[in-house]
Amino acid sequence: MSATAREFQEAAEQKAFDPDHRRIINFNIGRYDASVAKGLGKLANLDHAKKKGHVIKWKVMENLDKLLPEFEANFQRRGGKVIWANDAEEARTEILNIMQRVGAKTVVKSKSMTTEEVGINEFLEHHQIESLETDLGEYIVQLLGQKPYHIVTPAMHLSKENIAELFARKFGTPIDATPEQLTLKARELLREKYVQADVGITGANFLIADTGSIAISENEGNARLSTTFPKIHIAIVGIEKIIPSITDLNLYWPMLATHGTGQNLTVYNSILNGPRQPGETDGPEEMYVILLDNGRTDLLAQKEQRQGLYCIRCGACLNACPVYKNIGGHTYNTTYSGPIGSVITPHERGMEEFKHLSYASSLCGRCTEVCPVKIDIHKMLLLNRRDAVKEGLTAKSEQWGWGMFKKLMLNRKWTDFFGGGFKNFVMKTFFKKSFGPHRDLPKIAPQSFTEQWKKQQTETE
């Protein structure tokens, strides 16, 4: 077992039996479930919309080599600059080069999972550049020195009392401050940062090939401020975020909003085409889009699992997953947690180190059911497990155990030869530790079904 897998098991056990954590998550996801059910009820022919979204994404993956250059050409036509980054290190280096060239010392950042993926905050701080999160949830977890808990709701694991306590300690606000008061305090602290910042960094929800644009969805307006005031705007976007046409937003924007938060449409939806043009009153003087691979082409090469790249990062599968709802987001120790993270992370960061995530699932299929682009998530998890076995990444003891189990199951005489007492002894000796201290091992009957049936038939005769 890898060190990462061991840490995951320890953290998962701790969180699963933490009543305060369960209370907060159940409350927050319960509110989400109610909102999403209401939002989805307003969509006509939801299944058709999901199928359409799936087909468009399928076409994108089949034509990625054509759509990305199309985006690049159209974006550059309006003065934007495109940088291709093979991995996180290249992305960080390119950002640092831009900032050192202009002598930048401060950055404002809107919510972005790709920036978390490349670890940009820690990297910039290492180079004495202040990087400040401006999304309220991201700002809160940054103050705590934590990573985002959820890909849509970064501070989902915190209650309003937790946040009030944090603000009281950091900024001297009343310990009983309301959410509205806390939000106003955060706004007061952040507003001047937008004006002072040298660079604004964002992600993007979609890259639009036919117009050479990026589309950003948000609920707070911080992305608009981060892209308007600073003289330089850098967007870091995964290459899978491309869509063929601006008209496709007519489908993806409502689907993202309803599955992400239950809204009909996200409050702010921006389409950015490049730096400020002559005659325009706001916007950056320079705009860069970093197209990030970072293992995505490795997943693209997996014909059966490339569906993982269809994801639009709505977070629906996390909120539906019974495992995620019990162990939470931080235990996964990855940028993308929950079912979709368990699908893509082993391919992007290494099967040997992260194969355990594909086993952290009940395979109930709820994640597949709620996915807005019909990714067959629970099937992908099974395929990851298959690949881990094929690559010989399972422990020898596990291989021997399943080999013996298979032999017994395929031969009724062998199954019946070993009685219930011996089987219970084997279970207690070899499986008690892996079954965990919080569950009782199942008891195997003294006689098998076949033996009981024969006995009953004999007594009847």
Q: What is the pLDDT of residues 148-158, one digit of tens each?
A: 999 999 999 99
Are 297 and 306 contacting, i.e. CB atoms less than 8 angstroms apart? no
Does residue 317 belong to any structural domain of this protein? no
Does residue 228 belong to any structural domain of this protein? yes
Tell whether 275 and 413 lie within a shared domain: no
Tell whether 401 and 261 lie within a shared domain: no
Instruction: Single out the residue in 279, 294, 309 at which a domain terminates.
Output: 294
- pLDDT score at 440: 83
* Confidence band of 70 (pLDDT split at 50, 70, 90): very high
pLDDT digits (tens, 9 = 90+) for 74-127: 999 999 999 999 999 999 999 999 999 999 999 999 999 999 999 999 999 999
CATH of the domain at 109: 3.40.50.10420
Does residue 32 belong to any structural domain of this protein? no
pLDDT digits (tens, 9 = 90+) for 279-323: 888 889 999 999 999 999 999 999 999 999 999 999 999 999 999
Does residue 363 belong to any structural domain of this protein? no
Sign for the pseudo-dihedral over CA of 227, 230, 231, 235: negative
Q: What is the rounded average pLDDT for all residues in the chain?
A: 93
70-82 burial: b if 16+ Cβ within 10 Å, else e: bbbebbeeeebbb
Does residue 222 belong to any structural domain of this protein? yes
Instruction: Single out the residue in 294, 327, 359 at which a domain terminates.
Output: 294
- pLDDT score at 444: 86
User: pLDDT at residue 437 above 80?
Assistant: no
* Confidence band of 73 (pLDDT split at 50, 70, 90): very high
Does residue 196 belong to any structural domain of this protein? yes
Phi (first) and psi of residue 76, to 5 degrees: -70, -25
- pLDDT score at 113: 96
Does residue 376 belong to any structural domain of this protein? no
The C-alpha atoms of residue 391 and residue 395 are separated, in whole angstroms, by: 11
Instruction: Single out the residue in 241, 264, 294 at which a domain terminates.
Output: 294
pLDDT digits (tens, 9 = 90+) for 171-222: 999 999 999 999 999 999 999 999 999 999 999 999 999 999 999 999 999 9
pLDDT digits (tens, 9 = 90+) for 18-63: 999 999 999 999 999 999 999 999 888 999 999 999 999 999 999 9
Does residue 428 belong to any structural domain of this protein? yes
Distances 455 to 421, 423, 424, 461 between C-alpha atoms, Å: 18, 20, 22, 10
- pLDDT score at 400: 84
Tell whether 282 and 400 lie within a shared domain: no
Tell whether 59 and 187 lie within a shared domain: yes
Domain that holds residue 440: 396-460
For the chain, how many structural domains are there in total? 2
